[in-house]
Structure 1
Amino acid sequence: MLQVRPLLMFGLLVASLAPGLAIAQPLTFENAWSPEAPPVAPVMAGYVRISNDGSEDVSLTGAHCSDFARVEIHDMVERDGMMRMIKQESLTIPAGKQVELKPGSLHMMLMKPRRAIKRGETLEITFETASGESIPVTFEVKPQSARDQQHDNHQHHHH
């Protein structure tokens, strides 16, 4: 019986590590933040730099956050001389490249907040990939003026 126990423990250890090995993925999320909005605002924005250090493209197909009814990725495009926001059904992060969600470009729309959200708080936003993986990323709520300081933040989220 003494011989079986270490073998059983080793088997359990390997089994517990297997899920972590299976979901290792190449995306890195940096400088994830959201500008503070007035308490009555029906939407907030989210910005983040996403790097793909892998050898294959990764497609993000959605996102969610318990603090909002909906989370969408939008792009700003010019049509007939006017800037418009267009919802993106997916966002591909090319292998070996990075995509930045930033003001005036690709960005996240955090819709219908379920509570008042103030600067200094964090938001846990989970991205979904086309392969079915869920990637939680912590976004820091900052003052609106943080837009100008976003490149000074060196916060990294490796997954």
Structure 2
Amino acid sequence: MKVKVLLLAALMLLMPSLAAAEITVEDAWVRMPPPVADTAAGYLTLKNSGDHDVEVVSVESDAATKPEFHSMSMHDGMMHMMKMDKVIIPAHGELKFESGGNHLMLTGLARPLNAGDHVMLTIKTADGGSVMVHAEVRDVRMKDSNDSDHGGHHHGH
């Protein structure tokens, strides 16, 4: 009887982590901002290996007071950036946050970010799960014009 109770208790403790394990983060990095900037842009891919869509409700960071997911869209010939009200990772799918498109905006930087530094991100889901990831700060100023990984995009964030 004790073994069954212990096994059941262990399974109950594992359930939240099993749900969170459906979400993985790949290729997380942050663009090094200019020295006087109080914002930085971050990029990553969120993957969902589960059978159900997963909603991301927030992102936290040790590097910024206000991290948010943002979308980019064209209106009247002007590119606009807006906070994403909903971030849904489709079942068995992925959602990319990349240069020139959806991205992570780190506003209210807590410290200067230099190439080689790491930023801790915690991505929280509606089901109470969370995924932590270290994102490397990269200086891509010299590489933007000829680095196909970054598409030659120049952004002022």
User: If the length of structure 1 is used for normalisation, what is the TM-score?
Assistant: 0.80
Unaligned 5+ residue runs, structure 1?
A: 1-6, 152-159
Mapped pair 1:59 → 2:58: no
- In structure 1, the residue matched to 2:117 is 121
Q: Is the 8 A contact 1:57 1:93 kept in 2?
A: yes
Counterparts of 2:106 and 2:137, CA distance in 1: 12
Counterparts of 1:92 and 1:144, CA distance in 2: 29
Question: Matches of residues 1-159 of structure 1 in structure 2 within 5 Å?
Answer: 11=6, 15=9, 18-24=12-18, 25=20, 26-145=22-141, 148=147, 150=149
Unaligned 5+ residue runs, structure 2?
A: 151-157
From the superposition, tell whether residues 22 and 61 of structure 1 become closer, same or farther in structure 2 (CA, over 3 Å). closer
From the superposition, tell whether residues 115 and 75 of structure 1 become closer, same or farther in structure 2 (CA, over 3 Å). same
* Backbone CA RMSD of aligned residues: 2.3
Determine helix, strand or coil for the equivalent of 1:23: helix
Counterparts of 2:36 and 2:11, CA distance in 1: 45
Counterparts of 2:31 and 2:148, CA distance in 1: 11
User: If the length of structure 2 is used for normalisation, what is the TM-score?
Assistant: 0.81
Counterparts of 2:133 and 2:82, CA distance in 1: 23
Larger gyration radius, structure 1 or structure 2:
1
The number of residues matched between the two structures is 143
